[in-house]
A and B are shown apart, each in its own frame.
Chain A
Amino acid sequence: EAQVTQNPRYLITVTGKKLTVTCSQNMNHEYMSWYRQDPGLGLRQIYYSMNVEVTDKGDVPEGYKVSRKEKRNFPLILESPSPNQTSLYFCASSTWVAGGEQYFGPGTRLTVT
């Protein structure tokens, strides 16, 4: 089954404790992206990757890092989480040609206290 998976689905952590949210897709997609969703603000793009070893900032990259060492994986790293990073996070992927047809993961709800 074609899918995007994220882990963990729920995470409660404390300020400053480094964490990684994993994202994996099994569709051989070139393009992957991370979004965060906050009430009243819709989804905003954090980082994206057009292929292995190619990443770039989205609209709200501050406080986040990413890497793309393999085509299928695109982890989101919070080196020193803060309460304003409490949010619902989504990973998405697509082919480069059909970039508007993105497959989204189920989401990771992160709470930073």
Chain B
Amino acid sequence: DAKTTQPPSMDCAEGRAANLPCNHSTISGNEYVYWYRQIHSQGPQYIIHGLKNNETNEMASLIITEDRKSSTLILPHATLRDTAVYYCIVRTGANNLFFGTGTRLTVIP
């Protein structure tokens, strides 16, 4: 699987949009981008995934650049409960998810 690069930490004011970037410059054409988050030491939680098109669900939006070398996860209205480590993962058909060190998002009141 292609490796990803994320900033180690970010802050976001409560109620504002949190935009978490991810670089995956070596991504292949058939590799999906997945986002998970881990709150404290709980089990990771799936958020969203995409291949080429932008995606939105009840939790977040995923914006993938046209060249697919980077993506951004958007939490539209961050709350204190969104404080977590966010992982960007690039995956082929295998089910092994390579979790890097992620971005620690702190939502500030």
Contacts and interface: CB of A to CB of B under 8 A. Distances in A.
A100 B97 contact: yes
Interface string B25-47: 00000001010000001111110
Given A33-B95, A58-B96, A104 B41 contact: no
A68 to B, nearest CB: 14
A43 B99 contact: yes
Contacts of B96: 33, 45, 48, 58-59
A37 B100 CA distance: 11
B97 A102 contact: yes
A107 B42 contact: yes
A31 interface: yes
Interface in B23-77: 32, 34, 41-46, 49
B101 A99 contact: no
Contacts of A40: 101
A74 interface: no
Contacts of A88: 41
A7 B89 CA distance: 28
Interface in A21-65: 31, 33, 35, 37, 40, 42-45, 48, 50, 58-59
Q: Pick from B49, B95, B97, B102 the residue with the most CB of A within 10 Å.
A: B95
B49 A90 contact: no
Contacts of A105: 43
A100 B49 contact: yes
15 contacts: A33-B96, A35-B99, A42-B87, A43-B44, A43-B97, A45-B97, A48-B95, A59-B96, A100-B95, A102-B95, A102-B97, A104-B43, A104-B45, A105-B43, A106-B42
Given A92-B44, A100-B34, 10 more contacts: A31-B95, A42-B102, A43-B97, A50-B95, A58-B96, A96-B95, A99-B94, A100-B91, A104-B43, A107-B43
